[in-house]
Amino acid sequence: MTRTFKLIAIDVDGTLITSDQKVTGRVATVLRRLHSQGIAIALVTGRPSFHTHMIEEPLGFSPHIVGFNGAVGLVANTKQVLFAHEMSSVQVSQIDEAARTLGLTCCLYELPHENIQITSEVKDTPLIDRFFEESTTPFVNLQSQTLPTRNVPKMFLLTSNPSTDILKVRALCPSVNVYEERYFLDCVPKGIHKGIGLTTLCESLNISLEETVAFGDGTNDLEFLQTAGLGIAMKNGVDALKQVANRVSQFTNDEDGVAIELEAMLEQGLF
């Protein structure tokens, strides 16, 4: 008997959207078709859970959201908080101190505020400008003595040398998971990753993990693809992800890779 899938979980940057931050018509069309057939759609991303509206608009429907690299989940349509894994006050202080030791700009999200709080002296104004340009999320300055002790799902450190600084941050902050991005390091509580977020979402929807298909491209998608019933790495994905994926797409995020894979699965009757 052929296995069928009930939930499609998709990373955003480098997977769902193109390099110029767009959802193509072909991708939107196939996802709308699957959504109309009752297939659950979830965006699983390192982005803030509240920062997906510009992606939802071209899709034409409201998907489930797992944001902050698995730390926070929102239910489709209502965007009610389904789960939230917070950093401890010790972890927050540890990361803030690491930033000061390494001379990096430290930022955090504090729910329910939809802004980015800078906890340290600004070291990289150009990187802040770049982050704001790409995310349109406002920054506010926060003095270290008022560091929040609750409702912090993720922190990040701006850096021009992420591949070097990630090793230093991991050594200084053993109680957190640190992920490398293009010009910053994402920090979430130890044991929290996209795979945990997907698992928690599926439990709430009463969907087996075997009935899920996941798409990703980055190192923060490793556990995500390994957790799903079928893990598909994009052609533009990192080698480490391709090695653990069940399948590697022949197409990139700029070549409608997600749409092409889903169209083929539809033809095979896998939904």
Of 189, 219, 240, the last residue of a domain is 189
- Residue 108 and residue 184 share a domain: yes
pLDDT at 134: 74
Q: Rounded to two decimals, what is the model's pTM?
A: 0.87
Question: Where residue 154 sits, what CATH number does that domain have?
Answer: 3.30.1240.10
pLDDT at 2: 66
**Element housing 265 (H / E):** helix 257-267
Q: Which residues span the domain enclosing 157?
A: 89-189
- Residue 66 and residue 151 share a domain: no
Residue pLDDT, tens place only, 187-240: 999 889 999 999 999 999 999 999 999 999 999 999 999 999 999 999 999 999
Closest-CA residue to 215 (of 39, 45, 37, 58):
45
pLDDT at 110: 85
Residue pLDDT, tens place only, 53-93: 788 889 999 999 999 999 999 988 888 889 999 999 999 99
- Residue 228 and residue 213 share a domain: yes
pLDDT at 145: 60
Is 2 a domain residue?
Answer: no
CB burial string 66-98: b at 16+ within 10 A, e below? bbbbbbbbbebeebeebbebbbeeebbebbbeb
- Residue 174 and residue 93 share a domain: yes
Question: Where residue 256 sits, what CATH number does that domain have?
Answer: 3.40.50.1000
Ranked by mean pLDDT, which of 15-19, 48-52, 160-164 comes out on top? 15-19
Mean pLDDT, all residues of the chain: 90
> How many other CB atoms are there within 10 angstroms of residue 27's CB atom?
24
